[in-house]
């Protein structure tokens, strides 16, 4: 049973380009979460998605950032017109459900985005 | 504001020592609390999860406690080994929905 798969592991973009980060949750998991870890800062929640629905996007910047989790395929975090301040490690996590207080989140290895 | 604080920020100990990492949170109405390990350049590995109704959880040499009334959790590592060297993160979940509030982490170095 593969864990949470993120790709690419490293992504380099020039200012103004688009970045697409992919996340395949663990088998059987229908809840996906994106977190961002800026240099010298802790992990911050960005968005929570269930299949085809955005449940909580309270941590997403209002502009240039979007996320989706289609019925088929991986979840995508998309950053348009990247700026140097977007350079960070982006982590995806998944869970089977959210109903139990015992439900763990499983994290991927992250995508390190570098904006030149 | 819901905040999670971890002290110390960094800790260096000789191999074999028992050690305690601290985590405090400002809002005691938690859903659960999780301790993670993060190795450089890698993702997070879940170590222990304590539900809001529990007081502690144990796994091998690790023991995590939870005191909601005082807003504190501790991670106890017994007989530390060099392989325990990593950053340890405490994260609090306040409601269903996966929005974990993370502390800044404690960077642990265990010297052989």
Per-residue pLDDT at A99: 66
Under 8 Å between Cβ of A31 and A95 = yes
Mutate to test the interface with A, among B23, B43, B52, B102 (most CBs of A within 10 A): B43
| pLDDT per residue as tens digits for the range A42-51 | 899 999 999 8
Picking from A4, A91, A104, the nearest residue to B34 by CB comes out as: A104
pLDDT for the residue B99: 86
| Residues contacting A65, CB < 8 A, separation 6+ | A46, A77, A78, A79, A80
- Per-residue pLDDT, B94: 86
Q: Which residue of A has its CA nearest to B38?
A: A109
Give CA–CA dist A14/B103, Å, rounded: 31
How much is the pLDDT for A35? 96
Mean pLDDT of residues grouped by 10 in chain A (116 residues)? 88 98 94 91 92 92 95 95 96 83 85 96
Instruction: Flag if A110 and B104 touch (Cβ within 8 Å).
Output: no
CA–CA dist B46, B23 (Å, integer)? 16
Grade residue B42 by pLDDT with cuts at 50, 70 and 90: confident
pLDDT digit string (tens) for B59-107?
A: 999 999 999 999 999 999 999 999 999 999 999 998 777 789 999 999 9
The candidate with the shortest Cα–Cα distance to A16, out of A86, A90, A80, is: A80
Q: Is B5 on the interface with A (CB under 8 A)?
A: no
CA dist B43 to A66, A93, B38, B90, Å? Answer: 22, 10, 6, 14
pLDDT recorded at residue A100: 67
Residues A63 and A87: their CA atoms lie apart, in Å, by 16
First to last CA, chain B: 41
pLDDT of residue A98: 66
Residues of B in contact with A99 (CB under 8 A): 96
pLDDT of residue B43: 86
Angle made by CA atoms B76, B79, B83, in degrees to the nearest 5: 95
Residue of chain A with shortest Cα separation from B106: A42
Of B32, B43, B96, the CB nearest to A108: B43
CB pairs under 8 A between A and B: 67
Contact by Cβ (8 Å): B29, B93: no
A43 and B46: CB-CB below 8 Å? no
pLDDT at position A1 is: 53
Q: Please, what's the b/e burial string for B50-69 (b: 16 or more CB within 10 A of its CB; e: otherwise)?
A: bbbebeebeeeebbbbbebe
Greater model confidence, B42 or B80: B80
B 31-70 residues inside an 8 A Cβ radius of A: 31-32, 34, 36, 41-46, 49, 51-53
């Amino acid at each position: 049973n593969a864990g949470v798969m993120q790709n690419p592991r490293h992504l380099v973009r020039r200012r103004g380009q688009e970045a697409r980060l992919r996340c395949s949750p663990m088998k059987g998991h229908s809840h996906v979460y994106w977190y961002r870890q800026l240099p010298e800062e802790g992990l911050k929640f960005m968005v929570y998605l269930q299949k085809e629905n955005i449940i909580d996007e309270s941590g997403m910047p209002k502009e240039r950032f979007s996320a989706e989790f289609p019925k088929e395929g991986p979840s995508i975090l998309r950053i348009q017109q990247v700026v140097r301040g977007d350079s960070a490690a982006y982590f995806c996590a998944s869970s089977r459900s959210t109903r139990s207080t015992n439900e763990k989140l499983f994290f991927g290895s992250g995508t390190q985005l570098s904006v030149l | 504001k819901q905040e999670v604080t971890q002290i110390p920020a960094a800790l260096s100990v000789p191999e074999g020592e028992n050690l305690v990492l601290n985590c405090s949170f400002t809002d005691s109405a938690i859903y659960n609390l999780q301790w993670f390990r993060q190795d450089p350049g890698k993702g997070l590995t879940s170590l222990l999860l304590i539900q809001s109704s529990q007081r502690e959880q144990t796994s091998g040499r690790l023991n995590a406690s939870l005191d909601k009334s005082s807003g504190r959790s501790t991670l106890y590592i017994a007989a530390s080994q060099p392989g325990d060297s990593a950053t340890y993160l405490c994260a609090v979940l306040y409601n269903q929905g996966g929005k974990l509030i993370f502390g800044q982490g404690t960077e642990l170095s265990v010297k052989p």
